Structure 1
């Protein structure tokens, strides 16, 4: 019931959505670091969760009893307030238990910590303000009559999330890089083993604001669901719903553009001919992640809005991971996609039977395109059937969008996908 730190980022076998969109498991996003130990960590501890009806008497006065619908409405409002309280506590914890000690002990430099924590400090008073308003609106018996006007006045403050969420892809990359440092690794491991962390790691806490942001439309929808049409709060709640959807969509768009630019900057070109204006012009990254070719070589594939880019990931010294192009970029408009059945591989125009080890022939799909009068093909193997389907869906949607003309052609796909289709 209460808001808590989000679970760890999905492994490469999972697909996550873009930074702001609710998690679906997107085909792109942050890389997962190796586990600190072979043993699986204990499950994360949940906060004690309380319902409104468990906290306050569900009767108003001595005789009047609330209707089941009104009780559900009060539960939804209470959940909103409890989530704000949990969020404030976790953000303060991230600063007090992680940021400040690492700065004081010089485990990381101030510049590195500023990059990783971003504008997290600025979000704390924002949510303290909403929590205070919600508590002030609560009557002595614990019920809240009106909440819509509070939300319409407060929701514009969520624009402060734009710089924080836009920085997350860089923050995650730097944090993963710093985890290779023994002192950082030891400090974070000790924190995770301490009761205050609830067995969660630092990134879980840094990702809490994003998790909370995408939950606001769900929370408001639940309050609206149990608010009678003739209730005085109805109009304000309708306005608040439109506002939060608009704010989240705008932050999602800006965050997607930031993520796209980050990965464009991490591309390494081995020859000038690999540079493609379709990459430079891209403002959105539909998905990305690790795939294998038919020889078992690991590749990192990026699906920008109008071009598919095939790379190998490179770790250079202490720098964030870079991605070296190993094939010519493939324009989406020229790309053909084929789903391959398990146990079969299309090679040289013919179907060959299953390999002796059938595992090697599962979860393949093929992309092909015409270049210089020849049809060139690439075979990709996903980590499992789910990720394969996510890739296929994403590519199909990119092709549909690329086929459109006018203003729609360059718009971000409204798919909920984005980020990394990861591999462990």
Structure 2
């Protein structure tokens, strides 16, 4: 129903009433062109003649639910619009609420309080606390003012609709453009400011939702529908979409619902909106979880987008096409992706400003602090996540810029979720060359959570690269030197000034600190210089914290955990021992070998080889010296064959395990061992090893001759075969072992032998010889690695040079097609035919290994101070165990039995310094405990307890 009025009506003071003229609407700031003179008054809740209140509805015609209480949320307004505001006390809630369900028409305006609006002071702030008005009087004044405002303009409802639909020009999208000047004067300066800021809430929320919808329409949907996929294959594109756009769809749904509620409130209460605090509070409680996920993830999304943009030409073309959409208004994807990150901080500032302008009697004075507290706490809680994500991005940028020396595998494990950049910055180092005109070298040093990188920055083709000038130092090996040395001076060329100034330069103080590698203490010792004392202090704190966290992490994630077997039974002489007497038991000497075995009775014994002999006893109990073989080179137990093999001096002999255990328990005399003695090799044995070759258990040993080395292989015989042997065979002497295959002749010194699946590996000075003992005369002897392609392949030639300078220790097979060659300082990969693989790259150990052990999937490397545990497939350093005087006590690299290691003990007294025996026990991954089945009560179980 239309509203026909000759002119709008409001009680305006005479001094401010506009002069009469033909067009009474000319002074209105916003007039919509129309061919009809029939205009609507959107501020009336009903037609001019109606007396029943209008039922408010949403934009979709759905009736609004009754609100028991309204709240408000405001945003800042430009300074030129800031005017005083009308205050409403809490006593006005019900009256104001009733008003928004029924707004009086002009016919309702003839009330007894019309003269109250004739004074300017009343118009400015009729509800200020300075007025001595009762609650009823204030209610009447509010009703009077709102009835007058409802009759001021006839076009605002259409303007509001166009605003909500985004049809107005940007310059007209302001509250004061939708309200006449007379209305602003009637409300007063403070309320005008409040309504303007509330209007900004509606406007910013509308724009925000529109941008979120643009992301879906312009970017997400075309990417998903592109065929073929723009981002690689389907799986890679799905991964890209999940990283870059994360949970934007969930955030958009939250704000679409919030915007609909805001627009409904605006339609219901415009132009004098009481509050939107209830809507914002309800929405904030719902979208916090989705915002937290998105904000913490945003740096990763931005980095993934930039990386794809850098390397994917099709993605570049796609974004170029998207930029042609006029709705984007020349904004790029990063601008849209950052909208959720900036939205809540901006809303927080708006509400904070509103709280400052809100009277303590207003309902929002109670609600706004609650919303502000929620938003402030939420924003603070996201900061650590944002910083972590930003550090991850910096870490990726660093990794992409690194340039390593060719040929070496340096696995930083940077694709692990746990990797992060702790601290980084520019430092200086003094040049070692005295002839260098510039004695200072600029470095970029980065501390990761597992490595310290020392690099030198360079620009190559406009791209910043960081050349790794020293191999990364694992934190397990990083040691800190002095951080308290006095500052030194550095002369720097002046950047500005004349020629003489550039030669004169400037003198600056620099602050040194020292770090070094725990193994190469002298050759890998670095004195670095920080530009200030505070930077040096930051480096110290970062290094200490990073090492502390790394120590805790390694302690909680050990692949092999050391467990002490014995510490005190075996001693070496020390300065605390008194002079030896005939009555005192001499120390056992240094432990060099240790094996365990189980007797037929199920008891576990250990045989420990020391510098004074071989001791046998129950594991963890008293040990008795049984054999006087000093410094046994190898002790091998063949449990299934009841044999213990001892390589002593140049002999290789065996004894019965059962007899050895009975002698150790005083159940048999020591002479009974002689009855089980068998001599496998009588002289010049260099080394030996036992292993499996098919279903055979073999012992390989090398005997040095005058001109060459001969490698023999014998097969262990099962006791059942011995019992069924003929007397003639028994008289031959060697009952438990028989020769296998043919002897192998190697013209070089041999220092290690190793049985493989079908062949044996013989470590020599030239390399590792692979031979087949079952057909030695007909099969070719192979030397690995095979460097036949080194003449035309520089990478292979470089690997050959490095291998010739290293000592081979053996081979490790980690799958059916590839083996790992173990040297004392490095490792490389070869095929089953011996050719180098992986482009002839190599892995350099942090230590110089004296022995190794293969426990799939790991390779354990041993030196006197460290045990390195590495992944056999990648070479990645998994764990480091540090001790003093470490010795591997088992000489079977492929053995799956107990793994014993000796190291310096903790006891040092009159009995000497203890040698500790430690077992390295392989750990297993902690899995989730299965959920127990629900408890079922047994019928009648608690009857006697009346339960």
With normalisation by structure 1, the TM-score equals 0.60
Superposed displacement of residue 351, structure 1: 3.6
Equivalent of 2:283 in 139, 148, 154 = 154
Residues 325-355 of structure 1 deviation map (CA, whole Å, 9 limit, x = unaligned): 667799999879xxxxxxxxx9x62445526
Superposed displacement of residue 96, structure 1: 0.7
Residue 368 of structure 2: aligned partner: 237
Aligned counterpart, 2:261: 133
Q: Distance in 2 between matches of 1:86 and 1:65?
A: 30
Compute the displacement of 1:281 (Å). Answer: 9.8
Check conservation: 2:489, 2:509, Cα contact below 8 A. no
Q: 1:72 is matched with which residue?
A: 193
- Stretches of structure 1 lacking an aligned partner (at least 5 in a row): 4-46, 316-320, 337-345, 380-391, 404-409, 411-424
Matched residue of 1:377: which SS? strand
The residue number in structure 1 matching 2:113 is: none
Are 1:366 and 1:377, in contact at CA under 8 Å, matched by a contact in 2?
no
Name the structure 2 match of 1:178.
Answer: 308
SS at match of 1:65: helix
Residue 54 of structure 1, aligned match among 168, 177, 180: 177
**What are the equivalent positions in structure 2 for 1:276-355 lying under 5 Å apart?**
349-352=489-492, 354=494
Q: 1:168 aligns with which of 290, 298, 311?
A: 298
Compute the displacement of 1:282 (Å). Answer: 9.9
Displacement of 1:160 after TM fit?
1.1
Question: 2: CA distance between counterparts of 1:353 and 1:193?
Answer: 49
Work out which of the two has the higher radius of gyration on C-alpha atoms and give 1 or 2.
2
SS for the counterpart of 2:529 is strand
In structure 2, the residue matched to 1:110 is: 238
Matched residue SS, 1:255:
helix
CA gap 1:57/1:367 in 2 versus in 1, 3 angstroms? farther
Is the Cα–Cα contact under 8 Å of residues 490 and 508 in structure 2 kept in the other structure? no
Indicate if the aligned counterparts of 1:170 and 1:262 stay in contact, CA closer than 8 A. yes
* Structure 2 Cα separation of the partners of residues 173 and 267 of structure 1: 12
The 3 A distance-change label for structure 1 pair 144 and 58 is farther
Query: Which structure 2 residue ranges, 5 or more long, are not aligned?
Result: 1-74, 77-168, 232-236, 430-437, 516-524, 543-548, 550-947
Higher mean displacement: 114-123 or 141-150: 141-150
The residue matched to 1:376 in structure 2 has which SS?
strand
CA distance in 1, matches of 2:536, 2:489: 26
Deviation string 1:289-309 (CA, Å, 9 cap, x unpaired) is 8x697999997676899x997
1:118 aligned counterpart, secondary structure: coil
- CA spacing shift, 1:298–1:398, aligned 2, 3 Å: closer
Q: Which residue of structure 2 lines up, in the alignment, with residue 387 of structure 1? A: none
Relative to structure 1, is the Cα distance of residues 333 and 54 closer, same or farther in structure 2, using a 3 angstrom cutoff?
Answer: farther
Does the 8 A contact of 1:85 with 1:131 survive in 2? Answer: yes
Aligned ranges 1:7-46 → 2 under 5 Å: none
Change (3 A) 1:199 1:265: closer
Distance 2:359 2:536 in 1: 39
Deviations along 1:110-151, whole A, 9 cap, x unmatched? 322222111111110111122223223334433321222333
**More deviation in 158-167 or 201-210?**
158-167
2: CA distance between counterparts of 1:134 and 1:398? 53
Q: Is the 8 A contact 2:428 2:529 kept in 1?
A: no
Asked whether the 8 Å contact 1:161–1:251 carries over to 2, the reply is no
Normalising by structure 2, report the TM-score. 0.29
Partner SS state of residue 323, structure 2: helix
TM-aligned CA deviation for residue 399 of structure 1: 4.5
Compute the displacement of 1:194 (Å). 3.3
* Aligned mates of 2:390, 2:347 — CA distance in 1: 23
Q: Quick one: distance in 1 between partners of 2:419 and 2:482?
A: 16
The match for 1:189 among 320, 325, 329 is: 320
The alignment yields a C-alpha RMSD, in angstroms, of 5.3
User: How far, CA to CA, are the matches of 1:251 and 1:332 in structure 2?
Assistant: 34
Does structure 1 residue 88 correspond to structure 2 residue 209? yes
Change (3 A) 1:107 1:136: same
Q: Is the 8 A contact 2:213 2:252 kept in 1?
A: yes
**Aligned CA distance change for structure 1 residues 281 and 188 (closer, same or farther; 3 Å):** closer
Shift of 1:356: 8.0
- Distance of 1:334 and 1:208 partners within structure 2: 48
Distance 1:397 1:240 in 2: 43
- Counterpart among 199, 205, 217 of residue 330 in structure 2: 199
Cα deviation, residue 56, structure 1: 3.7
Deviation at 1:367, TM superposition (A): 6.5
Q: Which has the higher strand share?
A: 2
SS of the residue corresponding to residue 155 of structure 1 reads helix
Counterparts of 2:479 and 2:345, CA distance in 1 = 32
Q: CA 1:236–1:358 in structure 2 vs 1: closer, same or farther (change >3 Å)?
A: farther
Deviation at 1:397, TM superposition (A): 12
Q: Distance in 1 between matches of 2:447 and 2:187?
A: 53
User: CA 1:183 to 1:262, structure 2 compared with 1: closer, same or farther past 3 Å?
Assistant: closer
> Which residue is equivalent to 1:14?
none
In structure 2, do the counterparts of structure 1 residues 356 and 152 end up closer, same or farther at CA, with 3 Å as the change threshold?
Answer: closer
Cα pair distance change 1:205/1:266, threshold 3 Å: closer
Q: Distance in 2 between matches of 1:232 and 1:397?
A: 54
1:91 is displaced (CA, Å) by 0.9
Select 1:370's aligned residue among 498, 510, 513: 513
Matched residue, 1:227:
358
Residue 247, structure 1, aligned to residue 378, structure 2: yes
User: Is the Cα–Cα contact under 8 Å of residues 209 and 255 in structure 2 kept in the other structure?
Assistant: yes
Helix, strand or coil for the counterpart of 2:230? coil
- 1:25 aligned residue: none
Cα 1:100/1:351, change in 2 over 3 Å? same
**Contact kept in structure 2, 1:77 and 1:223, CA below 8 Å:** no
Tell me: CA distance 1:206–1:303, structure 2 relative to 1, closer, same or farther (3 Å). Answer: farther
The Cα shift of 1:377 comes to 1.0
